[in-house]
Structure 1
Amino acid sequence: MIDILIRTLPFFAIIGLGYWAGRTRFFTEEATAYLTKFVFYFPLSAMLFRFSSNLSLGDIYSTRFALAYLAGCTTVYLLATAVAVFRRLSLGEAAIEAQCAIIGNTGFLGVPMLTAIMGKQAAGPILLCLSIDLIVFSSLFTLLINVARSGRVTLRVFKVIGRGLLANPMIVSMGAGLIWASTGAPVPGPLNDFAGLLGAAATPGALFAIGASLASKSAERMQVAGWLSFCKLVLHPSAVAISALLIFHVDLASASVMIAAASLPVAGNVYMLAQHYGVAPQRVSASILISTVVSILTVPFVIAWVDMLQGTS
């Protein structure tokens, strides 16, 4: 584990540097917002396009893998929802807490860190996890929050979901890459180099943006945030591991990537959803802060564990 911890430390060190810049106001909240927007729309999209355009659909999609990941996520999603209902929270609050429990920072942290540590062959499984998070569970949240407000499901809700998916640059870039890959034509050298050069800014930019954004997060409602962080960092990877290894028997290499992806801290886009809909943003903010800090130790532990599993197989 020490070796994995040492290899992950530079990634978390950049997050820490960003946190320092945000905390000292060297990077203002406005600057952080623009940096996040830049990374989201340009370098990260270029990185995802480059990965997906150089892979085949078979390298990314596996029904067994998708079902295993969905089953593990759904188990924790329902548990977090049940606990929220037991505490007599509204449907909207229950939905946002369930998002915290299963949606990790796969785009900004997982793609650059896990491909660097676990190898480029990890790109396909990571992209599939990211796609499921964005398409299935983000859409489910939008559906639930609109049902909570209107009391029914309308055609307008599905239009909102559709527009949201089509406006998400991560989905668009992965889709464009897969379409290109499906043609069988190689990516032209200049385009591939352009995507590689721009995508190289994704890793430091995304990590710095994560840290700078954490500087504005509060640590209120510690008890609830602690529970949601426990769900995300412990229960989520555990449920995914059981689903992948014991129920669906996913091949060990792909399952290892899936479990590592599930161990990532709560994603920043969950806060964006909470803030947009006005549903418990402080609770989500605290969950992101706590889970990110604790993940400095838990993520290397999970990666070391799956690495050991592969070594003993």
Structure 2
Amino acid sequence: MPSLHPLLSGFAPIWALTGIGYLVGRTRLLGPHAETVLNRFVFHVAMPAGLFLLISRTPLGRFANPSMLAFMAGTAVATGLGLLAGHLFFRREPGELAIGAMASGYVNSANLGIPVTMQVLGDASFVGPVMLFQILLVTPAVLAVLDGGAAGRRALLTLPLRNPILLAAALGAVVSATGLHLPAELTRSGDLLGGAGVPTALIALGMSLHNRPSADGRSPGDRPLGERPFGDHSSEGRSRRAEVGLTVAVKTLVQPLVALAVAGPLLHLPPHQLLTVVLFSALPTAQNVYTYAREYGQGAVLARDTVLWSTLVSMATLSVISWALGPA
């Protein structure tokens, strides 16, 4: 049975880097446009490099296993509920709906999934299939909605060529499928560049807690905390808190419960696989969601607050799951 301390240690880098980002934003150390520049660096440079190498090294056949069926079922229900809630209760526009749905079901599989599952299971091999599923299926669907709203329906035909995330994923899939071996110099450079993505995204996330984004056409729901504090008692503030709370509840409670129901009673997975699927489904919202939201100016505050609050709540839910389903 894992102790609480090893589980929490996986969260330490997230809070540390987010806190550093907040201090950088508060002191204006990098200037007024640093958050925008850092987000663009992550979206256009670091993240594509990391995704390309990750997918190119991962056999695409790893999709084909029963555990992934349970994980995909949890993701489908969570994202569907996020989409439905945003439409029925909060009247979000299509781009914001896409971000809300993604925030409800897109797990932090890399920089939290790896340390948490290594502590609990001693094995992080499930990270690969989960990342492939999210990168190759979930992300393109969300970016297609975001890009379509920004550029029109015709532009969707050329979306993979214009969007660096999708282009990197597609090229990585081609390399993986064909078994090509990339030069060592290229992979080492890509590893260094891709490794900068997660810490830079967390720094930018922290900066967003203080910085005021410039007026660029964002919806009123994307005003920063400085203008619309979380304790704001206006009807708009209450609506925002309700939306964040509902999204966090779907992400940290509903998604793992659906995965548990499918993996257990329906698929009868053995205990080790059952624990793996439920743990991954209970991981908090990935900071990638905020990166996409900020890049397209859609639902950035919802994404940011969901990342932060789901990360905090998941420290408790992951501990409960490891205690309830882990080996005696």
TM-score tier (shorter): 0.7 to 0.9
Q: What TM-score do the two structures reach when normalised by structure 1?
A: 0.74
Structure-to-structure mapping, 1:1-313, within 5 angstroms: 1-59=4-62, 61-62=63-64, 64=66, 67-84=69-86, 86-87=88-89, 89=91, 92=94, 95-96=97-98, 98-99=100-101, 102-104=104-106, 110-118=109-117, 121=125, 122-139=127-144, 157=153, 159-216=154-211, 217-218=224-225, 219=230, 220=237, 221-248=240-267, 251-252=273-274, 255-256=277-278, 258-261=280-283, 264=286, 267-269=289-291, 271-272=293-294, 275=297, 281=299, 285=301, 287-305=302-320, 307=322, 311-312=326-327
Cα RMSD after superposing both structures: 3.6
What residue ranges of structure 2 are gaps of 5+ in the alignment?
119-123, 212-223, 231-236
**Kept in 2: contact 1:245–1:255 (CA 8 A):** no
Q: Distance in 2 between matches of 1:177 and 1:257?
A: 27
Call closer, same or farther: CA 1:168–1:253 in 2, change over 3 Å. farther
**Kept in 2: contact 1:68–1:240 (CA 8 A):** yes
Question: Equivalent residue for 2:216?
Answer: none
Q: What TM-score do the two structures reach when normalised by structure 2?
A: 0.71
CA distances 1:212-260 after superposition (whole Å, capped 9, x unpaired): 2333432343233322332333333333443444445564476256414
Call closer, same or farther: CA 1:229–1:160 in 2, change over 3 Å. farther
Call closer, same or farther: CA 1:212–1:240 in 2, change over 3 Å. farther
What residue ranges of structure 1 are gaps of 5+ in the alignment?
147-155
Q: Distance in 2 between matches of 1:36 and 1:93?
A: 18
- Identical counterparts, % of pairs: 20
Q: Distance in 2 between matches of 1:249 and 1:94?
A: 37
Q: Distance in 1 between matches of 2:267 and 2:6?
A: 30
Residue type at the aligned position of 1:135: P
**Kept in 1: contact 2:161–2:167 (CA 8 A):** yes
Residue type at the aligned position of 1:44: M
**Kept in 1: contact 2:78–2:104 (CA 8 A):** yes
Secondary structure at the aligned position of 1:115 is classed as helix
Call closer, same or farther: CA 1:124–1:44 in 2, change over 3 Å. same
Q: Distance in 2 between matches of 1:172 and 1:4?
A: 35
CA distances 1:30-63 after superposition (whole Å, capped 9, x unpaired): 111111111222222222222222221113x237
Q: Distance in 2 between matches of 1:43 and 1:270?
A: 13
248-257 or 167-176, which deviates more: 248-257
Residue type at the aligned position of 2:306: S
Q: Distance in 2 between matches of 1:90 and 1:114?
A: 30
Aligned residues: 291
Considering fraction of residues, name the structure with more helix: 1
Q: Structure 1 residue 17: deviation in Å? A: 1.0
CA distances 1:258-302 after superposition (whole Å, capped 9, x unpaired): 4144655792156348735xxxx4xx51x3343233234323334
Call closer, same or farther: CA 1:258–1:5 in 2, change over 3 Å. closer
Call closer, same or farther: CA 1:77–1:181 in 2, change over 3 Å. closer
Residue type at the aligned position of 1:301: A
